[in-house]
Amino acid sequence: MRILMVCLGNICRSPLAQGILERKVAAQGLDWEIESAGTGSWHIGEQPDPRSVYTAGQHGLDISAQRARQFGRQDLKDFDLILAMDQSNYRDILRLAQSPAEAKKVKKILDYTSDENGGDVPDPYWDDDGFEKVYQMLDQACDALIEAHR
């Protein structure tokens, strides 16, 4: 299975989600490939935000080798499951879908958990204190995702 995590700039939420799910998948011996992308182009080629790298490191993850890239039409063909971090990213991805089969691949990551944020992982870019909360939300969602697709 090929899974793509998608947020706005691919430097905060989706790199964390990629790192978390990669570790969980490896620990369970699942043959899944995980990547991440952003709907925007501002950070192409950049490392994840230092606060994401730090938060991941606090949980024993090293996501510093990841590099931001922009989501594109081809991703709808190449991936089995595309997980948006929030409603805005979800809508942006669906706009690129050219068939019901492609649209069916797109979900919000918090669709896998019950959540009090209306299904959105909040963007911590403007809130230094938000990274740990985002990590915890993604950690729970990745556990539920594995259960749903094992």
The ranges assigned to domains in the chain are 2-149
Catalytic positions, written as ranges:
7, 13, 123
pLDDT per position as a tens digit, 4-42 = 999 999 999 999 999 999 999 999 999 999 999 999 999
Sheet holding 81-84, edge to edge: 33-38, 2-7, 81-84, 106-108
- The whole-number pLDDT of residue 150 equals 87
What does the pLDDT average to over 124-131? 92
- Structurally, at CATH architecture level, domain 2-149 sits in 3-Layer(aba) Sandwich (3.40)
pLDDT on residue 119: 87
**Mean pLDDT value across residues 59-88:** 98
Residue 114 has pLDDT above 80, yes or no: no
User: What per-residue confidence (pLDDT) applies to 115?
Assistant: 62
